[in-house]
Structure 1
Amino acid sequence: MRTWGGEQVEQAVAGAVALLRTAADQDWDGATAGRLEWSCRRTAEHIASDLLAYAGQLAGRARSAYVPFGITFDEGTGNADVLDVIETTGVLLTAAVRTTPREVRAFHPYPFRSANREGFAAMGVAEVLLHTHDIATGLDLAYEPPAELCEDVLARLFPHVQPGSAPWPTLLWATGRGDLPGRPPVTEWRWSNPPAVPAGRLILEGVAPAAARDLSAGGDGGFTWAEGGPYEGTRDAAGMTVKAYEAGVHRPEWGMFVLVRQEDGRAVGGMGFHGVPDEEGRAEVGYDLAVSARGHGYATEALRALSAWALTRDDVRTLIATVDRHNVPSQRVLTRAGFVAVREDEEEISYEIRP
């Protein structure tokens, strides 16, 4: 999978600044930015502040809150100067993304309290694209960023939004900035970085639709895999994630996770859910490991952690799993993780666990 982050931040910032420089002599304080209550000037300053904040979170490895600092503009700073600051803070975020290891996560409040370098890059790109649209609307400028950039942002930050026929109108609709035929107006929205669940020697990293698409097509999904991975079941699960995303029913907490070994950052397997809990609060779990990672207790460790994480949720009453009756190692994993056999036939055994 191609590296995503620094190049896309550069591309978004360059496009935004090039457009806004053509209107630097207009009255940005007196023009309202699109549907926002802010002026165009205030919105431009906000872009720079967000880019700096995201760079600071990654560089400082913030764990529990935003690093308490921000930008103060000198008296007499003009519109063109503000664009210089946007360019500068864009460079800082780009550098932070490119120099931060893939496995590092830093604090961001929505919705799972952290994001990795790809997440911060995607949030930075989204801030630039969306707020440049707001400013351009207020200044009566035409603006449409590259479709691929918009599609990437949607597939990383809006996994719950069904893709539309055109990425840019879909992104505007998903953030309450436009209408989409056949879909109701959006009045409240929030993007979503993939969750990460600690599991002893492992971290269970949620897989965004963009990574799932790459995995299902035979790529690595942006992970460095242990020998023999990803296994066939992981690629099949990634395909299920893509189908759910395209149907508009994917929810990141009920999707796919990759098991990443903390000691060396290598992915050793996949684990996750077949979909959201049903009306009775039942959700089905599945998993597999790369051949070289089997026999080390990774699956049991991960299943215990994921089950505990899921069973604390109000919408879950039972987790279930079904295994081939000849797959004794998988049966042992379920039993060690606290699952109990409840049904069996000539081919399969069904297990479940409750809070």
Structure 2
Amino acid sequence: MRAMSGDQVTEAVRGSVTTLRAAVDRDWAAVGGGGVEWDCRAIAVHIAECLLAYAGNLAGHAREAYVPFEMRLEDGTGNDGLLHVLETTGALLAAAVNTAAPGDRAFHPYPFRSADREGFAAMGVAEVLLHTHDMAQGLGLAYTPAESLAEAVLASIFPHVQPGPEPWPTLLWATGRGELAGRPAVDNWRWRNNLVIPADRLTLTGLRPAAARDLRLGGDGGFTWLGGAPYEGTREAAGFLVKAYEAGVHRPEFGVFTLIRAEDGLAVGGIGFHGAPDSEGRVEIGYDLVPEARGRGYATEAVRALTDWALARDDVHQLVATVHPDNPASERVLARAGFHRANTEQEETARTEHGTESGLRLFVHGG
């Protein structure tokens, strides 16, 4: 599992062009793509349009809508020329991704109206892989992309999809293009870019499974950390995220967020949910900061931002957090963020019905 970059865009486009070149002498406009309503020429044009649009949005820092331009082929452009356009638009997206700063985000409508450089790379690779598959089916060509590309796409923009035995068949199944043993057919699907929640001095950046796995294994998750490394609680939370992803129960918006400091782009801690809300709308949160970031109000700011985001949803009615009795600093954070100490009955219910560890103090917001 690896993070997406412009290198994967280049690799995906190269594999697509190599496959399609075997049918360059065919009339692509006369051949329908497998499983879609477009002909193969229209599919190829669509791939190029997507690659160019993604490059334009990311490089142009689009905020509320796509950059208002479109691609037009010159009259008489043949299949060779169209493949050249694919190579060129792929190179433009790869360059835009590789030159974007880690925190750069730009408009994309689904689901949270923005994507970062990794998201744009993953979307571009997905367009190439899936639509090359569609064309190859229509043209009778063999096409199987590198498993590492399919795996990276799944872990980047399909974090809600449980990994299957093999990444490529899983991606085809997840996009309604194939069957997967033991799973129902998919007839409606969307990919999901990661959620970011802005705060005053911080950005809460949703953690993807690939980054979470790297953190769990002792890496940096692709972030530059104040003090050189995350606190152990962030690594533990990342491990829980990976387990949820592998079990197929991960809901990305109720996962883990890295706290990115706006002034310098450094990661200073982590915050997140212990899972999705239960049937009563109750959800537990946890957080930590690297030692070098403590005492500056970052934790309070992050808890407030996450709490406000959660309680604005229809499926969340109460947030809870637990604190060890010898951690008064964390109690003060929760109090400043609007939490209050639970009563004895609430703490007993938390222990008996929700498995809260005995001896921990329970704090509640909402409900």
Bin for the TM-score computed over the shorter chain: over 0.9
Query: Which secondary structure does the structure 2 equivalent of 1:283 belong to?
Result: strand
- Aligned twin of 1:330: 330
- Aligned twin of 1:350: 362
- Aligned twin of 1:16: 16
Alignment of 1:22-101 (within 5 A): 22-101=22-101
Q: 2:164, 2:170 within 8 Å by CA — same for their partners in 1?
A: yes
Q: Provide the identity percentage.
A: 63
Quick one: distance in 1 between partners of 2:204 and 2:266?
A: 12
Amino acid at match of 1:140: G
- Aligned twin of 1:136: 136
Quick one: distance in 1 between partners of 2:288 and 2:46?
A: 44
Quick one: distance in 1 between partners of 2:213 and 2:257?
A: 14
- Aligned twin of 1:174: 174
Give me the TM-score of the superposition, normalised by structure 2: 0.95
Quick one: distance in 2 between partners of 1:168 and 1:98?
A: 25
CA-atom RMSD in angstroms: 1.2
Quick one: distance in 2 between partners of 1:213 and 1:206?
A: 14
Quick one: distance in 2 between partners of 1:4 and 1:190?
A: 18
Structure 2: state its 5+ residue gaps.
348-357
Quick one: distance in 2 between partners of 1:101 and 1:2?
A: 18
Query: Which secondary structure does the structure 2 equivalent of 1:300 belong to?
Result: helix
Amino acid at match of 1:55: A
- Aligned twin of 1:150: 150
Query: Which secondary structure does the structure 2 equivalent of 1:286 belong to?
Result: strand
Amino acid at match of 1:176: G
Q: 1:343, 1:349 within 8 Å by CA — same for their partners in 2?
A: no
Quick one: distance in 1 between partners of 2:99 and 2:168?
A: 29
Query: Which secondary structure does the structure 2 equivalent of 1:269 belong to?
Result: strand
Q: 1:40, 1:135 within 8 Å by CA — same for their partners in 2?
A: yes
- Aligned twin of 1:206: 206
- Aligned twin of 1:286: 286
Query: Which secondary structure does the structure 2 equivalent of 1:224 belong to?
Result: coil
- Aligned twin of 2:300: 300
Amino acid at match of 2:30: G
Residues 79-136 of structure 1: CA deviation (Å, up to 9, x unaligned): 1111100000001001101111010110101001111001100100000000000000
Quick one: distance in 2 between partners of 1:78 and 1:255?
A: 47
Residues 310-335 of structure 1: CA deviation (Å, up to 9, x unaligned): 11111111011011111101000000
Q: 2:107, 2:115 within 8 Å by CA — same for their partners in 1?
A: yes
Q: 1:343, 1:351 within 8 Å by CA — same for their partners in 2?
A: no
Q: CA deviation at 1:27?
A: 1.7
Q: 2:3, 2:156 within 8 Å by CA — same for their partners in 1?
A: no
Amino acid at match of 2:325: R
Q: After TM superposition, which residue ranges in structure 1, 4 or more long, deviate above 3 angstroms?
A: 1-4, 343-346
Q: CA deviation at 1:343?
A: 3.7
Q: CA deviation at 1:2?
A: 6.8
Give me the TM-score of the superposition, normalised by structure 1: 0.98
Quick one: distance in 2 between partners of 1:229 and 1:148?
A: 27
Q: 1:136, 1:143 within 8 Å by CA — same for their partners in 2?
A: yes
